[in-house]
Structure 1
Amino acid sequence: MAPIRVGIIGLRPRPSDEPHVNTIGYWAAVTHLPALRTMPETYEIVAICNSNVESATTAIKQYGLPESTKAYGNPEDIANDPSVDLVVVSVNVGKHLTLAKPALERKKHVFVEWPLGAGLAETEELCRLADAAGVRTAVGVQARADPMVVKAKEIIKSGQIGKVVNSSAWISSAVLTYDTWQERGEYFFDQKSGGTVFFIFFGHFLDSFTHVLGDFTEVQAILKTTVTKVSIYNTKGELVDPALPKNTPDQMLVQGVLENDAVASISVRKSKAEVDGVSFRWIISGTEGEIEILVPFGSWQFGAPGRTLRLKIGDSEVENVDFLSGDEFNEVLPDPAANVAHQYRAFAKGDTETVATFASALKTHQLLDRILRAAGWESI
């Protein structure tokens, strides 16, 4: 079978004075590019589209892509290229609809990063366009493809822990700096941008939570803002805004009842430091046993080294479940690229269980909207 020919929107070249650890604006370079390069028999990068042709040409040279790779400066051109099968949109969520729409209208397969749209209305519009085009879609909630999440869902489906009756998660967002941030990421503190800690950091985990356990049929929520101003620094460490207003929630409590009648709760706290060094602790309790998932300091979707899954059935000893044995990407790709590679592998196989489609990602957006309204916040 011929490789899937990929066009990437948002493979931004790096200026020589910017550190390579910064991922704001460089997500495609940090994750999509290395992930795709591990599967040359399955995927071929044939085009890059940035804000202008010069930027795309620079990226092609900087990242060592073949000279035959085409450079484009607007989404219409990459959408019109007959050699592109799959368009990947990896930019600020505020541009997702504008950049993905031409590809969908030309009936290209499309992979859009999470969040899918900047709010529920844009997400619904993207789903409508995809349905009308009849194309395959993917959304970058890559934790669904994390071997740890896949294993947890497999254990529950097998009935090993019996009927799930309770699930609770405790989350710390200390991996995200408390009252400082990087330039070009100011949208993260504007609730109407659709790209905040609520939609991104919490949204990634919520997608996995409901993917494994099912949706909430009843939901209650409290969302509060602790930090109201943030200092913005550029990549050289220079202060560019000492007090950017922040109107996004950073303390979150969500609880309710799931589709299988289990009770569930998720607590997200904002602190400057984690006393236990754990960013995510998730317990899934069934009538026959429990699953515990721990993720050390990091973001849920990144597949952080040191994450663990423990299982206890009845009176048996606690088992540390090996979910990475034989994994094809764990040894060759660093986090967070490995989970993105798992997504691409599953997408090539037509696996719509492991890879979120526009339609399944819409359900997570709808739940986020329900949580906002339950907490008395405005929908976007």
Structure 2
Amino acid sequence: MSPIRVGIIGLKPIPTGEDISNQPGYWAGAAHLPALRAMPEDYEIVAVCNSSVESATTAIKQHGLPESTKAYGNQDDLANDPLVDLVIVSVNVGKHVLLAKPALEKKKDVFVEWPLAAGLAQSEELAKLASAAGVRTSVGVQARADPLVVKVKEIVESGRIGQVTNSSVWISSGVLPYGAWTEGARYYLDFKSGGNNFFIYFGHFLDSFTHVLGDFAELQAIMKSTVSSIAIFNTKGVLINPAHPKTSPDQVLVQGILESGAVASISVRKPKAEIDGASFRWIISGTEGEAEVVIPRSHWQFGEVKRTLRLKIGENETQNVDFLYGDEFESKVPAIAANVARQYRAFAKGDTETFATFESALKTHRLLDRIIRAAGWESF
């Protein structure tokens, strides 16, 4: 079977001598590129589209792509390329609809980073366009493909811990800057941008939570922004604005009853540093035992190498669960790209159990919107 021919929107050139792994705007190069390169039998990168042909050409050369790789300066030209099967959109969420729409209208398969779009209305628009086009879609909530999440879902569905009665989650966003922010990521401070602590940091986890345990039948919520302004610095460390407004929430509480009947609570806090060094602690309690997931200081979707899964059944000793047995990507690609690679593998195989489509990711957007409204914030 021939590889899927890929066109990437957002593979930026690399600033000389800079580490792009944690910089905003460079996710395509840090994660998508190594993931795709790890499976040449499944994917072939044939085009790059940036804000200009010159930028795309530079990126193709810097990233060592073949000379035959096409360079485009707008999304319409990429969508019109008959040799592109799959268009990847890896840019700021505010541009997702604009950049994905031409490819959908040309009936090309589309991969869009998470969030699917800026808010519920735009997300529904993209899902509707994809449905009308009848194409295959994928959304970058790559933690669904993490062997850890796959194993937790297997444990729950197998009944090993019995019927789930409770799930409690403690999340810290201390890994994100507290008193200073990067100039290129100011959108993260704006709630209405659709790309911030609530939609991205919390949203990635929430997608996995419901993927494993199901949706909320009823819920209550509190959202609060305890920090109303933050200092902005450029990449050279120069202060740009000492008090840039911040409207995105940094404290979130959600509690309610799941459709399964289990009680659930999720607490998101924003400390300067976690007292226990954990960004995520997730306990699932059942009638026969409990499972616990701990992610050290990191992002949920990144597949932190020190993430752990423990299981206790009845009065037996707590055991550490090996969830990486037989995995091909943990040591094959950079850690930050491993879950992205697993998602691409699932997409190539048509395994919709471990990757999100536009329609299934839309369910997470709808839940986020329910939380917003339950907290008394303005939906969009």
What is residue 282 of structure 1 aligned with on the other side?
282
The Cα of 1:306 is off from its aligned counterpart by 0.6
The Cα of 1:60 is off from its aligned counterpart by 0.1
The residue correspondences of 1:43-58 to structure 2 (distance < 5 A) are 43-58=43-58
Q: Does 1:238 align with 2:238?
A: yes
The Cα of 1:18 is off from its aligned counterpart by 3.9
Deviations 1:255-286 (A, max 9, x none): 00101000000000101011110110000001
The residue correspondences of 1:22-171 to structure 2 (distance < 5 A) are 22-171=22-171
Alpha-carbon distance between aligned partners in 2 of 1:82 and 1:289, rounded to the nearest angstrom: 54
Alpha-carbon distance between aligned partners in 1 of 2:21 and 2:31, rounded to the nearest angstrom: 12
What is residue 177 of structure 1 aligned with on the other side?
177
Deviations 1:63-118 (A, max 9, x none): 00000000000000110101000000000000000000000000000000000010
Distance change in 2, residues 1:3/1:21 (3 Å):
closer
What is residue 377 of structure 1 aligned with on the other side?
377
Alpha-carbon distance between aligned partners in 2 of 1:184 and 1:288, rounded to the nearest angstrom: 49
What is residue 312 of structure 1 aligned with on the other side?
312
The Cα of 1:300 is off from its aligned counterpart by 0.4
Deviations 1:197-235 (A, max 9, x none): 000000000000000000001010011111111111111
Q: Which 5+ residue runs of structure 1 have no aligned equivalent?
A: none
Deviations 1:283-310 (A, max 9, x none): 0001111100000000000001110000
Question: After TM superposition, what 4+ stretches of structure 1 lie above 2 angstroms from structure 2?
Answer: 17-23
Give the counterpart letter for 1:350 in structure 2.
Answer: G
Does 306-315 or 94-103 show the bigger shift? Answer: 306-315
Give the counterpart letter for 1:191 in structure 2.
Answer: F
User: SS in structure 1 opposite 2:29?
Assistant: helix
Given the two structures, how large is their TM-score scaled by the length of structure 2?
0.99
What is residue 333 of structure 2 aligned with on the other side?
333
The Cα of 1:329 is off from its aligned counterpart by 0.5
Query: Percent identical across equivalent pairs?
Result: 72
Alpha-carbon distance between aligned partners in 2 of 1:17 and 1:38, rounded to the nearest angstrom: 24
Alpha-carbon distance between aligned partners in 1 of 2:125 and 2:99, rounded to the nearest angstrom: 13
Deviations 1:169-223 (A, max 9, x none): 0010000011211111000011110001000000000000000000001010011
Given the two structures, how large is their TM-score scaled by the length of structure 1?
0.99
Does 155-164 or 86-95 show the bigger shift? Answer: 155-164
User: SS in structure 1 opposite 2:200?
Assistant: helix
Alpha-carbon distance between aligned partners in 2 of 1:327 and 1:356, rounded to the nearest angstrom: 20
Report if the CA contact (8 A) 1:104-1:129 is conserved.
Answer: yes
Give the counterpart letter for 2:138 in structure 1.
Answer: A
User: SS in structure 2 opposite 1:184?
Assistant: helix
User: SS in structure 2 opposite 1:51?
Assistant: coil
The Cα of 1:21 is off from its aligned counterpart by 4.1
Q: Which 5+ residue runs of structure 2 have no aligned equivalent?
A: none
Give the counterpart letter for 2:78 in structure 1.
Answer: I
Deviations 1:23-63 (A, max 9, x none): 30100000000000000011000000000000000000000
